[in-house]
Amino acid sequence: MIALPTPQNINQAADIVKNGGLIAYPTETVYGLGVDPHNTEAIRKIFTAKGRAEDKGIILLIRGLDDLSALVRTVSPTAQILIEAFWPGPLTLVFRANPDLSPALLGGRDTVALRHSSSPIATELLTALGGPLTSTSANRSAEPPARSATEVENALGDHLDLILDGGPSGSTLPSTLVDVSTDSATLLREGAISAQKLRAHIYL
């Protein structure tokens, strides 16, 4: 089911997530798949829908800095610099994970990938949820990320409870991914934010 991101439909999407369902929604980059990150069975729905190996971690969107303490062990000075420079926005940071997080979310690692999204729709959805939300790209594994609600429906419609239609995605690129789980920073994926822009703030 495709629905416009009205307040009523955003609240419905949040209720679906709270009850263990799987939704798709727009971000500032491409469309993402959303489930409750504390619900292991719901997380497994993502792997089934995407046909993805369960040894890969899943990105989370957060409402802001207040969500960090429940999800990560430490925030390094380098991470703080990047947060101040690029959040909210298309930068995903990899931290040492809080041990209470589901192993299914982490892909067998001890790190978790987080982003503070600049998408108004994603922000409203997170507010309605009152907490973080998964945000792996809405596509079958090894296929291009979906950039519209119709593309999401064509690729994954049979697996989804609701698709929030925010129009065409704002970028053809995924978020940039940087590991800040140690004192230094490692660029894992160059995406919507270039390595050059990152190097204006930190050493890579």
204 within a domain of the structure (yes/no): no
Q: Residue 69: what pLDDT?
A: 86
CATH number reported for the structural domain that contains residue 122 in this entry: 3.90.870.10
pTM for this prediction: 0.94
The residue among 108, 110, 106, 135 whose CA lies nearest residue 123 is: 135
Residue 159 CB-density burial (10 A; 0-12 exposed, 13-18 middle, 19+ buried): middle
Residue written as tokens 């790190």?
111
Question: What does R_g of the chain's alpha carbons equal in angstroms?
Answer: 16
Whether 118 is in a domain gets the answer: yes
Which pLDDT score is estimated for 55?
A: 85
Write down the pLDDT at residue 163: 98
d(CA 80, CA 112) in angstroms, rounded, equals 16
Segment 142-150 shows an average pLDDT of: 92
pLDDT digits (tens, 9 = 90+) for 148-181: 999 999 999 999 999 999 999 877 788 999 999 9
Q: How far apart are CA 41 and CA 26, in angstroms?
A: 23
Which residues sit opposite 136 in a β-bridge? Answer: 33
Instruction: Give the model's pLDDT for residue 13.
Output: 98
User: What's the CA gap between 130 and 38, in Å, rounded?
Assistant: 13
Domain count along the chain: 1
What's the CA dihedral at 192, 195, 198, 203 to 10 degrees? 160
The per-residue pLDDT for 56 is 87
Distance, CA of 65 to CA of 155 (rounded, Å):
33
- Each residue's pLDDT tens digit, 42-94: 999 999 999 988 888 999 999 999 999 899 999 999 999 999 999 999 999 99
Host domain of residue 77: 2-199
Does residue 100 sit within a domain?
A: yes
- pLDDT value at residue 109: 92
